[in-house]
Structure 1
Amino acid sequence: MRRTQAIQGLEGLILSFLSQLCDASAVSDDSDSEEDSMSPKAKAKKTSGKKIEMQILDRKKSPVDGVSPMRTIKFPGRGKHASSRVFAQLFRVIDVAHEALVNDVPITKRDIHYQDVALFKSQRVVDQLIDDISATIGVGRGDLNVRASSKGLICGSSLVLHLVDEGELAVTDSEGSLIPVAEDIARFDLKTEIHWVLIVEKDAVFQTLCRLRLTYHPSLPGPGLIVTGKGYPDLATRQLVKTLSDNLPETVPILALVDGDAYGIDIVSVYKFGSQALKHESERLAAERVQCIGLWSSELGELGIDNSSLLQISAADEKKARNLLLRADPLLPMRWKKELQSMLFTRRKAEIEILSCASIPPRPSSSSNITFEEDSGSGYEHPLVRYLVPRINAAVDELAMNVEMG
């Protein structure tokens, strides 16, 4: 049904254009004889009234009274740049997506870009057009049979992903596995009960936690999963987190560890509330159970990290923080807002790696077997582990108490 809706939506956009084109041609034929007697200036004025318009959903604006705002692209347009390029780019993407749907052969956004590099100029143009088109005809990007290349990783042997081609992806505890796109996943299975899920912003931090085998740390209440989108998450990573959020028991916390800066908070908000670019798909992508457990710049003093050790915020950091605050999202937690305000006041930010300078009390010796390979047997426990273990335990205990209290 979704495939049929997508095909009909694409064909509807083309038919709308062709209908207007025919009408404009008819008007032009009827007025040819009249224009012969006009001056060049009068001809230009009359011709300018024959415009072809297409309505595209404006994803930057929120619906008003349940009505989604639209933006109009016109031909001919004003200005130095030929408006025909915009239409050509739009129709090229529609053509490729329609072919992918009719032939039932998936295509990536990068494939579309490289089919006509001279026309699109940049990958970003293709990305925006795909999202514009899917929003306009009321389907998801995946329903157009257009996929983004996966980049997210997952670690944790409790989870098994069964693929559509009848293959199986067995996730391990010591290294990351590439998260397949949702269309390739048939179902999930759990080998053992999952007690927690941790999303980390950075690939380097993810790799460290995998190598330290945090998913089976003896001081945690049970096995867990670690996920990274390597910065801003791709669609496949968001879909996986959303699936986990919808299907895991309420007692399983889904936590996020990000840099203590405006971009870190924005990344958590993408997982939790959805992105500005894909507002129309928030219902199937936003995982509201996600909780941020740091890194909080305001807590670093308690960890023995001097303010002078923090990085100064850049102009881009300041702009991102102010935009997040001005967005006035009523859902944005007060703790997040206070952190943004604190960053703007102190002009400082922190990256996760600064925990290596933190004075975090060591865990009991029972957990000292979780060590770096190069420090095996030394009893050294990584600061990331010392930072995360109590926070994961506290989140698990809090949810269990909430469920128990009803």
Structure 2
Amino acid sequence: MESNKTAHNPSFSSAIVLLRRKIRRETKDQNVVLPHKQSRSKLLTKIEKLILTVVEDISFSKEPKLQVPRRSTWVDCNIVNRKLSLKDKSQLKYQEILYTKNTKRMTVIFNLLAKVHNLLQNRTSVTYRELYYQHTDLYESQNTVKTAILDICHLLNTSPWDLRVFSTSKGLIAGPLLIKLGDNETIINCLSKGGMSSFKT
């Protein structure tokens, strides 16, 4: 039975248990106000809803599956007012990840979901390299971690930055970047859609 395969896979089961424990844990430092607190709480809710859906599937002997938006290409983009943006979500194509056909991939995704949930709860961050060395026998390579984090980003409609996962622990610039020219024209604004303003012609 397919459900037996799911139930007896130790890596998948441990990932589910770990994530459920993280969901039950109370969020620390409730009185601390952060700029991205609302976004952070929404991400936590999305992760919790996602894992609960999978747990319900397993409890009803259904095969766990994920609907991941296909990686964006130029076909999925529009240019409006000289700014690049993705098409409406309803126009995007999705890839179905079935547990029986993608056991390793789904196990990695849920294992990392548990870690991301923990990062968001505790307001900490981590690098891809650090994640890889936390479970080298499961991830096998750093690229596996990067691919799974991208899958998670597509599932949650967010970025690695908002998940608190970075390429390096040190950098020249961190946070919302705003660059203006001498005539006060904004050319880069990381808080705006698209991130870059159009140049005057």
CA shift, 1:8, in A, is 0.8
User: What's the counterpart of residue 12 of structure 2?
Assistant: none
Is residue 103 from structure 1 mapped to residue 115 from structure 2 by the alignment?
Answer: no
CA shift, 1:103, in A, is 1.3
Question: 1:20 is matched by which residue type in structure 2?
Answer: D
Closer, same or farther: CA 85–93 of 1 in aligned 2, 3 Å: same
Alignment partner of 1:143 out of 162, 177, 185: 162
Alignment partner of 1:55 out of 57, 67, 74: 67
For CA contacts below 8 A with separation 6 or more, give which structure has more relative contact order: 2
Deviations 1:130-153 (A, max 9, x none): 2221232123322212222167xx
Question: 1:8 is matched by which residue type in structure 2?
Answer: T
User: What's the counterpart of residue 39 of structure 2?
Assistant: 2
Closer, same or farther: CA 141–65 of 1 in aligned 2, 3 Å: closer
CA shift, 1:96, in A, is 0.7
2:129 and 2:50 map into 1 onto residues whose CA distance is: 23
User: What's the counterpart of residue 93 of structure 2?
Assistant: 69
Tell me if structure 1 keeps the 8 A contact 2:47–2:117.
yes
User: What's the counterpart of residue 130 of structure 1?
Assistant: 149
Tell me if structure 1 keeps the 8 A contact 2:126–2:169.
no
User: What's the counterpart of residue 181 of structure 1?
Assistant: 174
2:152 and 2:126 map into 1 onto residues whose CA distance is: 16
2:129 and 2:173 map into 1 onto residues whose CA distance is: 17
SS in 1 for 2:193: helix
State the superposition RMSD in angstroms.
3.0
CA shift, 1:249, in A, is 4.6
CA shift, 1:107, in A, is 1.6
SS in 2 for 1:149: coil
SS in 2 for 1:139: coil
2:68 and 2:48 map into 1 onto residues whose CA distance is: 14
Tell me if structure 1 keeps the 8 A contact 2:186–2:197.
no
Is residue 19 from structure 1 mapped to residue 56 from structure 2 by the alignment?
Answer: yes
Deviations 1:291-347 (A, max 9, x none): xxxxxxxxxxxxxxxxxxxxxxxxxxxxxxxxxxxxxxxxxxxxxxxxxxxxxxxxx
1:145 and 1:65 map into 2 onto residues whose CA distance is: 26
2:141 and 2:39 map into 1 onto residues whose CA distance is: 29
User: What's the counterpart of residue 120 of structure 1?
Assistant: 139
1:12 and 1:179 map into 2 onto residues whose CA distance is: 36
CA shift, 1:126, in A, is 1.3
Closer, same or farther: CA 150–253 of 1 in aligned 2, 3 Å: farther
Task: List runs of 5+ in structure 1 lacking aligned partners.
Answer: 25-49, 78-82, 152-177, 183-238, 255-270, 272-280, 291-398
Identity %: 23
1:23 and 1:73 map into 2 onto residues whose CA distance is: 18
1:126 and 1:98 map into 2 onto residues whose CA distance is: 16
Question: 2:98 is matched by which residue type in structure 1?
Answer: K
SS in 1 for 2:97: strand
Aligned length: 150
CA shift, 1:65, in A, is 5.5
Closer, same or farther: CA 179–64 of 1 in aligned 2, 3 Å: closer
Deviations 1:40-88 (A, max 9, x none): xxxxxxxxxx5321111222352665413221100212xxxxx321111
Question: 1:13 is matched by which residue type in structure 2?
Answer: L
TM-score (structure 2 length as normaliser): 0.62
SS in 2 for 1:143: coil
Structure possessing the higher radius of gyration over alpha carbons: 1
Superposition pairs for residues 276-291 of structure 1, below 5 Å?
A: 283-284=193-194, 286-289=195-198
